[in-house]
A and B are shown apart, each in its own frame.
Chain A
Amino acid sequence: MAGKIKKLIDLIVEKRANGNPTIETLTKSKMVMKGIVPDKYTSTSDDDPQVIEKLLALAKELNIKI
């Protein structure tokens, strides 16, 4: 399977930023500090379970339903 990481990143950024570009950048920068570089992932990137786990934990912390 591939592309799940990008989907999760996009969903988290969308829900958190609600279209605000400043918050989009901020949210992505916070992901970078957690070791997830958003721009590295595309719709063909492998579904690394460790990264997915980190993103699911982040979504939970942000009260974002996946």
Chain B
Amino acid sequence: MSIKTVYSVKSGIHEAVQDISTQLQDFDTRVLIFFASSNYDPNLLINAMNEQFASLPVVGASTAGEIISGKMLKNSIVAMAFNAEAIADIKVEVVENIKSNCDINQAFQSFGEYFQVAMADLDYTQYVGLILIDGLSNCEEKIMDSIGDKTNITFIGGSAGDDLKFSQTYVYAKGKAYNDAAVLAVIKPTAGFDIIKTQSFEVLDKKLIATKVDAEARKIIEFNNKPAVEAYAQALGVSPDKVADYFMSNPVGLVYGDEIYVRSPQRIDGSNMFFYCNILEGMEVSLLQSTDIVKDTEQAVVDKLQELGKISGIINFHCILRTLELEQKGQTDDYGKIFASIPTIGFSTYGEEYIGHINQTSTMLVFK
């Protein structure tokens, strides 16, 4: 076994971290990734992690719910421990003050010096990037855009959550808890890696062009040269006062080839619509129709398992909107069971990172 997953639902921070540590005492942990409910005080939590795992690279994020092999949890800590058979090398950097400055150059220079290859030239088949970012920063697009310009390495990850309080989210690295920050890690998985990005939507033949936007605020003022709410309602075929009822089942998506990059509506403000991802002026998006999350995700995991032969571990960045839908439909147990036989951790995110900032997906880093 090269990857071990553990969790604790103990409410006391020291008890929970001790519980995690005890479960890992016979495992030769070289790297630890954890996701923890925001109900654990972030500074006390990282101090407790430091006490138990001081000598290891440890990275993590606060959540809006956790995932462990076979289960979806609340108010817990989930952790994935890697030995040398799973991760050959890792370098972690923190980019602070991202709201005022999304400059990743220093982090990328550090990666380049550590791996002795510039990030622009690093082998994208051998290395993968992990990103954990303040989920209330609204900076994900800028950071991912900048990463994408500077490297061919895939960076995959999630926006930290805070159990739907929308107050403060945290990322953890280098022995500290940060908000207004992004943790970046470049990992060399020993046996290789793959990606699963799955969303449960079909594309409808109804298009909306963002004709007036405030991209920084993720606000759409007009679609198709009409007030955004009116145009979205028209596409749905419902009255404008009913559109909020359709946000979860009918978001919009950037469609390119077979790929859908979902942009989920968050709220309306007068005739404007706010989204969880930005939509740039001139972008054409398609109206989407939800399908079965459990069935689609199970199929995606089964397909990948068949393709690879075996999966040693999965880190699942799972949109909070999907979690809410699963809760509404009483399907959280069924979703958790998809991962029962695979070492898996994950969390309910405030957005997923893959090529850009996306919504309503399960975006997974798969260790071969």
- A23 and B152 in contact (CB under 8 A), knowing A28-B256, A32-B254, A33-B261? yes
- With a cutoff of 8 Å between Cβ atoms, the chain B residues found around residue A22 in the complex are 124
CA distance A39 to B257 in the complex (A): 10
CA distance A57 to B289 in the complex (A): 35
Query: Apart from A33-B144, A50-B282, what 4 extra A-B contacts exist at CB < 8 Å?
Result: A22-B124, A30-B149, A33-B261, A58-B149
A32 adjacent to B148 (CB under 8 Å)? no
CA distance A29 to B261 in the complex (A): 10
B259 adjacent to A29 (CB under 8 Å)? yes
User: When the two chains form the complex, which single residue of A37, A61, A62 contacts B284, counting CB atoms closer than 8 Å?
Assistant: A37
A61 adjacent to B149 (CB under 8 Å)? yes
A37 adjacent to B256 (CB under 8 Å)? yes
Q: How far is the CB of A20 from chain B (nearest CB, A)?
A: 9
- With a cutoff of 8 Å between Cβ atoms, the chain B residues found around residue A26 in the complex are 152, 355
B355 adjacent to A35 (CB under 8 Å)? no
- A33 and B355 in contact (CB under 8 A), knowing A23-B124, A28-B256? yes
B282 nearest CB neighbor, chain A only? A35
A7: interface (CB < 8 Å) = no
User: When the two chains form the complex, which single residue of A29, A34, A39, A63 contacts B145, counting CB atoms closer than 8 Å?
Assistant: A34
The 10 A-B pairs of least Cβ separation, nearest first, read A33-B356, A35-B280, A61-B149, A30-B148, A32-B256, A35-B283, A29-B355, A23-B152, A35-B282, A32-B254
Inter-chain contact total with CB atoms closer than 8 Å: 42
CA distance A26 to B120 in the complex (A): 14
CA distance A63 to B283 in the complex (A): 26
Total chain A interface residues with beta-carbon distance under 8 A: 19
1/0 contact trace for B119-161 toward A, CB 8 Å?
A: 0100010000000000000000100110011101000000000
- With a cutoff of 8 Å between Cβ atoms, the chain A residues found around residue B281 in the complex are 35
A29 adjacent to B282 (CB under 8 Å)? no
CA distance A62 to B148 in the complex (A): 10
B356 nearest CB neighbor, chain A only? A33
CA distance A25 to B257 in the complex (A): 10
A58 nearest CB neighbor, chain B only? B149
Q: How far is the CB of B78 from chain A (nearest CB, A)?
A: 30
1/0 contact trace for A25-63 toward B, CB 8 Å?
A: 110111011110101000000000010000000100111
Q: How far is the CB of B212 from chain A (nearest CB, A)?
A: 14
CA distance A1 to B351 in the complex (A): 41
- With a cutoff of 8 Å between Cβ atoms, the chain B residues found around residue A28 in the complex are 256
- With a cutoff of 8 Å between Cβ atoms, the chain B residues found around residue A50 in the complex are 282
Q: Could you list 21 A-B pairs, sorted by A, with CB under 8 Å? A: A16-B152, A23-B152, A25-B257, A26-B152, A26-B355, A30-B145, A30-B355, A30-B356, A33-B144, A33-B145, A33-B254, A33-B261, A33-B356, A34-B145, A35-B280, A35-B281, A39-B256, A58-B149, A61-B149, A62-B149, A63-B120
Most interface-central of A23, A29, A32, A33 (chain B CB within 10 A):
A33
Most interface-central of A23, A25, A37, A50 (chain B CB within 10 A):
A37
CA distance A35 to B152 in the complex (A): 19
B254 nearest CB neighbor, chain A only? A32
Q: How far is the CB of A9 from chain B (nearest CB, A)?
A: 13
1/0 contact trace for B247-272 toward A, CB 8 Å?
A: 00000001011010100000000000
CA distance A58 to B148 in the complex (A): 11
- With a cutoff of 8 Å between Cβ atoms, the chain B residues found around residue A37 in the complex are 256, 284
- With a cutoff of 8 Å between Cβ atoms, the chain A residues found around residue B261 in the complex are 32-33
- With a cutoff of 8 Å between Cβ atoms, the chain B residues found around residue A30 in the complex are 145, 148-149, 355-356
